[in-house]
């Protein structure tokens, strides 16, 4: 089967790797996006229930599947553009805060896992909690609404609230 | 004795392959539980005494252990020692008792205690943990690979241990404290891509290891507890030869560092972190002009002519400097300060440096003796053309993407690699991130450089075809494996069908490590690899349409390999169960996203498996799996 990736000829420098902007995908000609960046803002990916369709079917019939692209391209975090990705984390009711390095995580899943390990208070085990972050504008926002990479860049600190 | 060893007189004598460092590892390396009492001389060695008439040389099987051990000391390569150990029980015993260096490529392949018991005289050990793809975030936190059991076993059984190296493992402060207090003559600590420790643990090392020669911290995640770990080196301590703290985020006490550098006259390698400003680098260099390797740390300072002069003078004094690295957000104006060392440089690592433009290129072009160059794609094609013309001794080239996720223009094309491979006759190792590629370029590269041992090409956009012909890159990569008969490591990318794997399977006769992403179109692709590639050790695959059949059909192959990683492919649980049942000496791990804690026993056979990690082991299933890893 042939792929139509819609890459323009080499002298069209702007055509490669437009991953961020959703409009760019929409505006392009008939080819559909190969993938979208890792955004866990919807229920499909959030509970790992997406794999009944997506993960099983890795046929190159791209475009109508949304796939997360964790770990691509294969560069170590040390080689990624450096940002101060350590953020303080505080949990409601817990006096001691922690610090977490966002750049060492590749998805919201991994971050949640780390947070659970950092704050394993037994009385709250299983209780719903909400992770919020302070963004560049100083607003406190629920974690998970924006693509992971954007979140890493804009999160200043985290606060875990009990729901 | 040396002469008689080289004239084998029986079929049981040393196989010829033992002389070659590329010999496949001997089976003996897995006979950990073997009893083999020292005096067992069971194996028929054949009559070594072929010297009729002369004073009879002792037959092979009654050579005393000391002679054997001395002979084995001339076999530095572990594979050769393994081959010697496979000859007979006597040699097995002599070899294992005298082994000084041990490399455990997968920390779960054997139990620490067993390794320590089997090789009681080890002085230097290296242990590796997480799978390679952990470097790219594909392995969630708390996966395992704890160093603690290894440190504990070593503390118990190797009191004379001198060197310890961990890669991709979790090393805690307690581990470091134990290391500091357990080995009287501890000299070398190397931690690569590890996590779990802080500067408090480092303080235990610097305080407790009186004979420390090397403290080499490469790309670790180190929590900063602001403890003055450097200050814990006693004032009387002078034995340091290597100090690398480039991955440390926090400040260090510069006065302490300066005093340390001044009194350690054997210091050869010094790699600083970002906290050390440029003018301090100059004064350190004046204290240590004997340095062979320097990592400058952060470089971004506004240009000041007096600082430039200081740097230039400092570097002029470093006549032995051969290797240079650093996080150079460099003001290009400072680069000429390095000109005097360029000619002597054999290794230049600018992979953290965002410096670009003509100053960069001019700088590199003066490094006529460069053997190893790591650089960002900011060098662009024309920069690599200059490298091709200037660095005729280049052996290894790595070009990293400066903007891996961005929507930026294509900075680097196939042209750069073609030029370098055409003009650098000793080039044998390449890691190249670029935006586009053609079959023609790859075929040209393959023709020019049949001596590649490592070829890793990463076209940034998955499944990118030949941008001229729009075809797959099968032809190009096939040319690489057909031409480069000594290829040991290969990473493929771009648009690829099953056909390229047919070629790799048939031609990759030395291939030990293969990385595949977003490639192939059916089970056949994987089958070609697993049924070919005779020497394959590590196979890592992501996002390919490979399913259960080739895995099960080639189950036995997996025991000849160190490990297999498959993520986002088309595997189901049933096949993994079958594999585990069929191959008891493999550990079959499946991994789901953390947060999904459904026990695997309850899932049906046709459940998809997101990540499979299989490895051979003599230790049985590990007991430290997190909740998102299940051993089938």
Residue-averaged pLDDT of chain B: 89
Contact in structure between B224 and B198 (CB atoms under 8 Å): yes
Residues 6+ apart with CB under 8 A from B236: none
Cβ–Cβ of A17/B221 closer than 8 Å? no
B569 touching A (Cβ < 8 Å): yes
Residue A123's pLDDT is what? 52
Tokens describing residue B476:
């190009």
The confidence score (pLDDT) of residue A80 equals: 59
Domain count for chain A, please give it. Answer: 1
Tell me which residues of chain B, numbers 107 to 126, contact chain A at a CB-CB cutoff of 8 Å.
Answer: none
Number of neighbouring beta carbons within 10 Å of residue A156:
13
Out of B137, B400, B596, name the one closest to residue A71 (CB). Answer: B137
> Between B141, B409, B545, which is nearest A113 by CB?
B141
pTM of the predicted structure, to 2 decimals = 0.80
Listed ranges A81-90, B1-10, B66-75, B151-160; the one with the highest mean pLDDT: B151-160
Shortest Cα distance, chain A CAs vs residue B238, angstroms: 31
Smallest CA–CA distance from A6 into chain B, residue = B464
Domain of residue A146 covers 86-162
- For B286-309, give one letter per residue: b (16+ CB within 10 A) or e: bbbeebbbbbbbbbebeeeeebbe
Q: Which tokens is B187 given?
A: 């000299």
Between B277 and A122, name the one with better pLDDT. Answer: B277
Judged by a CB distance cut-off of 8 A, whether residue B409 touches chain A is: yes
pLDDT > 90? residue B56: no
Residue B485 lies in a domain: no
CB-CB neighbours of B357 under 10 Å: 13
Does residue B546 form part of some domain?
A: no
Rounded CA separation B109/B586 (Å): 9
Q: In sequence order, which residues have a C-beta less than 8 Å from that of residue B458 and are 6 or more positions away? A: A73, A74, B431, B432, B433, B434, B491, B493
Mutation target among B594, B603, B605, B607 for the A interface, most CBs of A within 10 A? B594
Distance, CA of A105 to CA of A124 (rounded, Å): 24
- Neighboring chain B residues of A48 at a CB cutoff of 8 Å: 592-593, 595-596
Q: Which of A55, A77, A112 sits opposite B568 (nearest CB)?
A: A55
Residue B202, judged by CB atoms within 10 A of its CB (0-12, 13-18, 19+), counts as buried
B360 touching A (Cβ < 8 Å): no
What was the ipTM of the complex prediction? 0.82
Residues 128-157, chain A, touching B (beta carbon < 8 A): 149
Structure token digits, residue B624: 């430290």
Distance (Å) from the alpha carbon of A48 to chain B's nearest alpha carbon: 7
- List strands edge to edge, sheet with A129-134: A98-101, A86-91, A157-162, A129-134, A140-142
Contact (CB<8Å) A79/B138:
no
A146-159: per-residue pLDDT in tens? 888 788 888 889 99
**Share above pLDDT 70 across residues of chain A, in percent, rounded to a whole number:** 48
CA angle B456, B457, B461 (to 5 degrees): 140
Inter-chain touch A60–B517, beta carbons under 8 Å: no
Residue A26 included in any domain: no
Q: Kindly report the CATH number assigned to the domain that includes residue B81.
A: 1.20.1280
- Report the C-alpha gap between B297 and B329 in whole angstroms: 10
Mean pLDDT confidence for B455-467: 96
Q: Considering only residues 22 to 41 of chain A, which have any Cβ-Cβ distance to chain B shorter than 8 Å?
A: 24, 34-35, 37
Residue B76 lies in a domain: yes
- Write the CATH number for A137: 3.10.20.90
User: Number of H helices and number of E strands within chain A?
Assistant: 4, 5
Is the CB of A73 less than 8 angstroms away from the CB of B460?
A: yes
Helix then strand then coil, % of chain A, to nearest 5: 25, 15, 60
Counted domains in chain B:
1
Domain-embedded: residue B135: no
By Cβ distance, the residue of A17, A37, A109 closest to B595 is A109
Examine residue B155 and state whether it is found in any structural domain, yes or no: no
Residues of chain B with C-beta less than 8 angstroms from the C-beta of A112: 594-595
Question: Where do the DSSP E strands lie in chain A?
Answer: 86-91, 98-101, 129-134, 140-142, 157-162
List CB contacts (< 8 A) between B464 and chain A.
Answer: 5, 7
| Residues in Cβ contact with B17 at an 8 Å cutoff, skipping those fewer than 6 apart | B23, B24, B83
Q: Residue A124: its pLDDT value, please?
A: 52
Q: A–B: how many Cβ contacts below 8 A? A: 158
With contacts defined as CB-CB under 8 Å, which chain A residues touch B596? Answer: 47-48
Contact check, Cβ <8 Å, B594/A59? no
d(CA B8, CA B5): 7
Q: What is the pLDDT of residue A154?
A: 86
Q: What percent of chain B stands above pLDDT 90? A: 75
Give the residue among A81, A97, A69, A104 at the shortest CA–CA distance from A158.
A97
**Distance from the B168 Cα atom to the nearest Cα atom in chain A, whole angstroms:** 12
Upstream peptide bond of B142 is cis (omega within 30 degrees of 0):
no
Q: Do the chains contact at B133 and A86, CB–CB below 8 Å? A: no
Residue A107 domain-assigned?
A: yes
CB atoms within 10 A of CB A1: 7
pLDDT given for residue B284 in this prediction: 95
Averaged over A34-48, what is the pLDDT?
34
- Within a domain: A136: yes
Look up tokens 């961005």; give the residue: B406
A91 falls within a domain:
yes
Residue carrying structure tokens 């866990």: A40
Torsion B400-B404-B410-B411 (CA) sign:
negative
The answer to whether the Cβ–Cβ distance between B462 and A55 falls below 8 Å is: no
Closest Cβ–Cβ partner in A13, A34, A109 for B410: A13
CB A62 within 8 A of CB A3: yes
Which residues 68-127 of A have a C-beta within 8 angstroms of B? Answer: 69-82, 86, 99, 101, 104-107, 109-110, 112-114, 117
The answer to whether the Cβ–Cβ distance between A7 and B247 falls below 8 Å is no
B 178-197 residues inside an 8 A Cβ radius of A = 193, 195
pLDDT in tens, A5-31: 444 444 333 333 333 333 333 333 333
* B20 pLDDT tier (thresholds 50, 70, 90): very low
Distance CA B391, CA B374 (A): 13
Dihedral (Cα; A21, A23, A27, A30), 10-degree rounding: 70
- B137: distance to nearest CA of chain A, Å? 5
Which among A13, A76, A112 has the least Cβ separation from residue B135? A76
Of B249, B405, B594, the CB nearest to A110: B594
How far is B140 from chain A, CA to nearest CA, in Å?
6
Q: Does the pLDDT of residue B397 top 60, yes or no?
A: yes
Instruction: Please state which of the ranges A67-71, B228-232, B375-379 shows the lowest mean pLDDT.
Output: A67-71
Q: Residue B315: is its pLDDT beyond 50?
A: yes
Domain assignment present for A132: yes
Separation CA B589–CA B598 (nearest Å)? 15
Query: Tens of pLDDT along B569-615?
Result: 999 999 999 999 999 999 999 997 666 666 778 889 999 999 999 99
Q: Note whether residue A93 is domain-resident.
A: yes
pLDDT-based confidence at residue B247 (cuts at 50, 70, 90): very high
Mutate to test the interface with B, among A63, A79, A125 (most CBs of B within 10 A): A79
User: Looking at chain A from residue 39 to 68, which residues have their Cβ under 8 Å from any Cβ of chain B?
Assistant: 47-48, 51-52, 55-60, 62, 67
Report the relative pairing of strands B214-218 and B101-104 from DSSP bridges.
Answer: unpaired
Task: Supply the range of the domain harboring residue B83.
Answer: 65-97
Which of B44-53, B306-315, B487-496, B583-592 has the lowest average pLDDT?
B44-53
């Amino acid at each position: 089967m042939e792929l139509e990736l819609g890459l323009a000829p080499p002298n069209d420098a702007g055509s490669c790797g437009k991953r961020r902007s959703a409009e760019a995908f929409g505006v392009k000609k008939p080819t559909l996006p190969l993938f979208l960046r890792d955004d866990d803002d919807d229920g499909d990916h959030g509970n790992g229930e997406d794999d009944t369709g997506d993960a099983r079917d890795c046929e190159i019939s791209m475009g109508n599947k949304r796939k997360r692209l964790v770990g691509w391209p294969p560069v170590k975090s040390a080689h990624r553009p450096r940002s101060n990705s350590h953020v303080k984390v505080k949990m409601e009711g817990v006096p001691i805060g922690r610090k977490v390095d966002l750049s060492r995580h590749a998805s919201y899943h991994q971050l949640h896992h780390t947070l659970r390990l950092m704050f394993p208070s037994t009385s709250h085990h299983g209780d719903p909690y909400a992770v919020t972050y302070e963004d560049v504008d100083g607003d406190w926002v629920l974690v998970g609404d924006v693509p992971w990479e954007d979140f890493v860049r804009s999160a200043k600190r985290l606060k875990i609230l009990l729901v | 004795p040396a002469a008689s060893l080289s004239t084998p007189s029986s079929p049981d004598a040393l196989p010829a392959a033992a002389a070659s460092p590329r010999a496949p590892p001997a089976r003996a390396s897995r006979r950990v539980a073997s009893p083999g009492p020292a005096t067992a001389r069971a194996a028929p060695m054949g009559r070594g005494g072929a010297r009729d008439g002369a004073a009879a040389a002792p037959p092979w099987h009654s050579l005393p252990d000391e002679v054997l051990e001395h002979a084995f000391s001339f076999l530095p390569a572990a594979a050769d020692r393994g081959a010697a150990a496979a000859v007979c029980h006597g040699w097995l015993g002599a070899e294992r008792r005298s082994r000084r260096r041990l490399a455990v490529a997968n920390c779960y392949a054997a139990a620490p205690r067993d390794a320590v018991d089997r090789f009681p005289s080890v002085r230097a050990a290296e242990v590796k943990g997480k799978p390679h793809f952990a470097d790219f975030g594909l392995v969630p936190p708390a996966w395992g690979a704890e160093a603690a059991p290894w440190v504990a076993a070593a503390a118990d059984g190797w009191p004379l241990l001198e060197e310890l190296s961990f890669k991709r493992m979790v090393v805690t402060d307690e581990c470091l404290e134990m290391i500091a207090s357990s080995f009287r003559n501890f000299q070398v600590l190397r931690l690569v891509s590890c996590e779990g420790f802080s500067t408090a643990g480092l303080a235990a090392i610097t305080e407790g290891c009186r004979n420390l020669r090397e403290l080499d911290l490469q790309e670790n995640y180190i929590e900063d507890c602001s403890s003055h770990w450097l200050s814990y080196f006693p004032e009387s301590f002078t034995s340091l030869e290597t100090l690398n703290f480039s991955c440390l985020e926090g400040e260090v006490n510069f006065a302490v560092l300066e005093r340390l550098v001044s009194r350690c006259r054997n210091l050869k390698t010094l790699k600083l972190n970002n906290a050390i400003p440029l003018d301090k680098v100059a004064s350190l260099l004046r204290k240590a002009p004997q340095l062979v390797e320097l990592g400058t740390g952060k470089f971004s300072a506004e240009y000041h002519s007096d600082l430039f002069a200081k740097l230039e003078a400092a570097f002029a004094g470093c006549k032995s400097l051969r290797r240079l690295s650093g996080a150079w957000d460099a003001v290009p104006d400072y680069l000429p300060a390095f000109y005097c060392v360029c000619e002597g440089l054999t290794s230049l690592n600018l992979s953290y440096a965002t410096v670009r433009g003509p100053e960069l290129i001019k700088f590199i072009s003066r490094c006529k003796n460069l053997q190893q160059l790591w650089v960002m794609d900011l060098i662009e094609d024309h920069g690599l053309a200059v490298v091709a013309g200037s660095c005729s001794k280049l052996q290894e080239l790595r070009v990293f993407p400066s903007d891996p996720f961005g929507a930026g223009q294509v900075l680097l094309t196939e042209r750069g690699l073609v030029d370098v491979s055409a003009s650098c006759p000793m080039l044998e190792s390449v890691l190249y991130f670029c935006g586009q590629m053609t079959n023609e370029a790859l075929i040209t590269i393959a023709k020019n450089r049949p001596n590649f041992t490592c070829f890793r090409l990463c076209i940034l956009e998955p499944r990118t075809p030949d941008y001229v012909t729009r075809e797959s890159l099968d032809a190009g990569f096939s040319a690489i494996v057909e031409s480069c008969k000594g290829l040991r490591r290969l990473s493929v990318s771009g648009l690829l069908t099953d056909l390229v794997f047919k070629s790799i399977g048939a031609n990759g006769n030395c291939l030990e490590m293969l990385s595949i992403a977003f490639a192939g179109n059916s089970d056949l692709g994987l089958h070609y690899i697993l049924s070919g590639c005779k020497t394959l050790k590590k196979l890592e695959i992501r996002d390919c349409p490979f399913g259960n059949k080739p895995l099960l059909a080639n189950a036995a192959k997996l025991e000849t390999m160190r490990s297999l990683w498959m993520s986002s492919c088309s595997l189901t649980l049933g096949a993994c169960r079958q594999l585990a049942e069929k191959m008891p000496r493999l550990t079959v791990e499946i991994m789901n996203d953390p947060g999904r804690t459904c026990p695997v026993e309850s899932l049906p056979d046709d459940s998809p498996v997101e990540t499979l990690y299989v490895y051979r082991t003599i230790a049985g299933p590990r007991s430290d799996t997190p909740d998102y890893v299940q051993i089938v």
